[in-house]
């Protein structure tokens, strides 16, 4: 079922104590919220255990920011899907543009990670989006279509109940520059159209498509008001209690 979701990607920020404080603040801030959106936070691996404990008895769900595709083995420094589920994590973010850019994660690798996540019953927030040059050269639709095709289109229709899409134009991430609500809607409608062509109307209508890239309290309401925008993946503004709560309340 199509759901509204506000997810905070904390990236490599917040130590244990800071994470505790932020969760405490969010819990307090959303206690009386009227928003029916799912609220997700993605702290770093080392803070997942504590975040899960502290999010119990609240609507906050805890996601991981990445995982390795192998079941287990000699992969120093990596974390497997089953390690995440064993902790109580039920969502993983895959394909974030920072993973693609700084850690060379390409579509074929991401397809394997998606498979490993689904096999372990994790929901996947699958990120994709064009670079500035792609938009300038009007290649943005093509780039997005290829990312979806190569990362996800090997999946069967049934698997999409566990997939959340996150369109994040790279030029809008952490730059303060946001896609206009119209640009976001245009791309989200395009994405839903591709999903419909590939998997049919039911899957296309049921999938949640989040927007990410400099979402803040000041622009969240307008972006979320667009019919094909089902929520947001929030970076910088998810690190401040008031901002994140304001964004949740904007949906
Ligand atoms: P930002 O990051 O909100 O800081 O632009 C979004 C993201 O990287 O998911």
| CB of 169 sitting under 6 A from ligand 1 | no
The residue nearest atom 7 of ligand 1, judged by CA position, is 235
Closest C-alpha to 236, from 150, 153, 175, 169: 175
| pLDDT score, position 197 | 97
Q: What is the DSSP letter of 60?
A: E
The string of DSSP letters for 112-155 reads HHHHHHHHTT-EEEEEE---HHHHHTT-HHHHHHHHHHHHHTTS
What average pLDDT does this structure show over 100-104?
Answer: 96
Contacts of 1 (CB under 8 A, 6+ apart): 206
pLDDT of residue 173: 87
Ligand 1, residue 11: give the atom nearest the CA.
8
Nearest CA to ligand 1 atom 2: 235
Element (H or E) spanning 170, and its range?
A: none
Catalytic site residue from 105, 123, 130, 168: 168
Tell me the per-residue pLDDT of 38-80, one tens digit each, with 9 for 90 and over: 999 999 999 999 999 999 989 999 999 999 999 999 999 999 9
Q: Which of 184, 151, 145 has its CA nearest to residue 168?
A: 184
**Region 102-131 average pLDDT:** 98
Q: Give distance in angstroms: CA of 242 to centre of ligand 1.
A: 17
0.75 exceeded by pTM: yes
Q: Name the band, by pLDDT with cuts 50, 70 and 90, for residue 177.
A: confident
Would the pLDDT of 33 be above 90? no
| Ligand 1 atom at shortest distance from the alpha carbon of 216 | 3
| Phi-psi map region of 169: left, alpha, beta (phi>0 left; psi -120 to 50 alpha) | beta
Q: Is 168 a catalytic residue?
A: yes
């Amino acid at each position: 079922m199509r759901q509204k979701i506000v997810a905070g990607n904390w990236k490599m920020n917040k130590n244990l104590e800071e994470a505790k404080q932020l969760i405490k603040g969010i819990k307090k801030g959303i206690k009386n919220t009227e928003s029916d959106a799912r609220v997700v936070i993605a702290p770093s691996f080392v803070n997942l255990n504590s975040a899960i404990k502290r999010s119990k008895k609240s609507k906050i769900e805890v996601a991981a920011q990445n995982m390795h595709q192998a079941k287990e083995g000699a992969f120093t420094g990596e974390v497997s899907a089953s390690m995440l589920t064993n902790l109580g994590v039920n969502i993983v973010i895959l394909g974030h543009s920072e993973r693609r850019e700084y850690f060379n994660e390409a579509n074929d690798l991401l397809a394997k990670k998606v498979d490993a996540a689904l096999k372990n019953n994790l929901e996947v927030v699958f990120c994709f989006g064009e670079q500035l040059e792609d938009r300038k050269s009007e290649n943005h639709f093509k780039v997005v279509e290829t990312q979806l095709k190569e990362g996800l289109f090997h999946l069967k229709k049934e698997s999409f109940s566990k997939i959340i899409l996150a369109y994040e134009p790279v030029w809008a991430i952490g730059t303060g520059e946001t896609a206009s609500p119209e640009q976001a809607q245009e791309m989200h409608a395009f994405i839903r159209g591709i999903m419909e062509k590939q998997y049919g109307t039911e899957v296309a209508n049921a999938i949640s498509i989040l927007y990410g890239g400099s979402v803040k309290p000041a622009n969240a309401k307008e972006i979320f008001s667009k019919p094909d925008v089902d929520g947001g993946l929030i970076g910088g503004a998810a690190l401040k209690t008031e901002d994140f709560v304001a964004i949740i309340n904007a949906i």
